[in-house]
Amino acid sequence: MPDFCAAYGCSNHRSLQTRTRGITFHVFPKTGERRRQWEVALRRDGFVSSGRTLLCSEYFRSEDFDRTGQTVWLKDGVVPTVFNFQAHLQRPEATRSTTTSRRAEDEPQPNVVSILNVAKTREMVIDFRRVRTSLLPLCILGEDVAVVEDYKYLGVHLDNGLNWRINTDAVHKKGMSRLYFLRKLRYFHVCSKMLEIFYRSVVASALFFEGL
């Protein structure tokens, strides 16, 4: 049975592939406070390590290792600190109460309207009223915003009658280019979890618009 890393969501295990990528595996401390620190660092409810529980090198800093010999060792007293936890595992940040932080919160924040480029802002009116009358144009900072009958965004062409179409050629090219980067990441042996995140956040969005 292969030796897997005990970190949450990590699929690394001892194999020729991980060895080629320079990933090493390290047994939990035998007993004592440092073993408890390792267990707490993983943030897994009810987790208790055994004598064979491993953690891979991706959860330690480069300066945590002793690479002077043929075998890679962890330095004494090292605790894993390199984690990218999901939202439900994140620790809530403490509320700032210093004078400096309170002063920063009290300072007026810039108005979103004040940073708009009115010359590039467009308004599209969709009017479902039975009796239509002229509407006053939207005014920002004393300037009227141009009213348009259709609008194009992210390859979707929408008009004020809610009729729309998609520039499928452009979306297809965008989707293929993103798939190319996904293949590149896979070629460089990026872990499967990161590949899934890249696909869901970058590739799938382009393919979604293409399939509509």
159 and 199 within one domain:
yes
155 and 136 within one domain:
no
82 and 20 within one domain:
yes
Q: What residue ranges in 138-207 does DSSP mark as E strands?
A: 139-140, 143-144, 146-147, 150-153, 156-159, 164-166
DSSP 69-134: SSS-EEPTT---------GGGPPPPPPP-SHHHHHHHHSPPPPGGGG--GGG-EE------SS---
Q: Are 186 and 178 in contact (CB under 8 A)?
A: no
Domain contains 8: no
Domain contains 169: yes
Domain contains 135: yes
Q: Output the pLDDT for position 130.
A: 67
159 and 142 within one domain:
no
Q: Output the pLDDT for position 101.
A: 60
204 and 154 within one domain:
yes
Domain contains 97: no
83 and 141 within one domain:
no
Q: What is the pLDDT along the chain (212 residues), one digit of tens a residue?
A: 568 888 887 888 888 988 888 889 988 988 788 888 888 888 888 888 888 888 888 888 889 888 888 888 888 888 888 877 555 445 555 555 566 666 656 665 555 555 566 677 777 777 666 666 666 777 766 777 777 778 776 667 777 777 767 666 666 677 777 778 778 888 888 888 887 887 777 666 655 444 44
3-state secondary structure of 161: coil
Q: Output the pLDDT for position 11.
A: 84
- The position carrying tokens 């308004």 is 123
pTM above 0.85, yes or no: no
Domain contains 78: yes
Domain contains 157: yes
Query: How far, in Å, CA of 143 to CA of 82, rounded?
Result: 51
41 and 23 within one domain:
yes
Q: Output the pLDDT for position 32.
A: 82
78 and 135 within one domain:
no
Q: Are 22 and 99 in contact (CB under 8 A)?
A: no
Domain contains 107: no
3-state secondary structure of 174: helix
Q: Output the pLDDT for position 209.
A: 45
Q: Are 50 and 37 in contact (CB under 8 A)?
A: no
60 and 33 within one domain:
yes
- Identity of the residue numbered 77: G
Domain extent at residue 197: 149-212
73 and 29 within one domain:
yes
Question: CA dist 117 to 62, 122, 130, 137, Å?
Answer: 46, 10, 34, 16
3-state secondary structure of 68: coil
Q: Are 43 and 89 in contact (CB under 8 A)?
A: yes
Domain contains 119: yes
Number of domains in the chain: 3
65 and 41 within one domain:
yes
Instruction: Report angle CA 56, 60, 66 to the nearest 5 degrees.
Output: 95
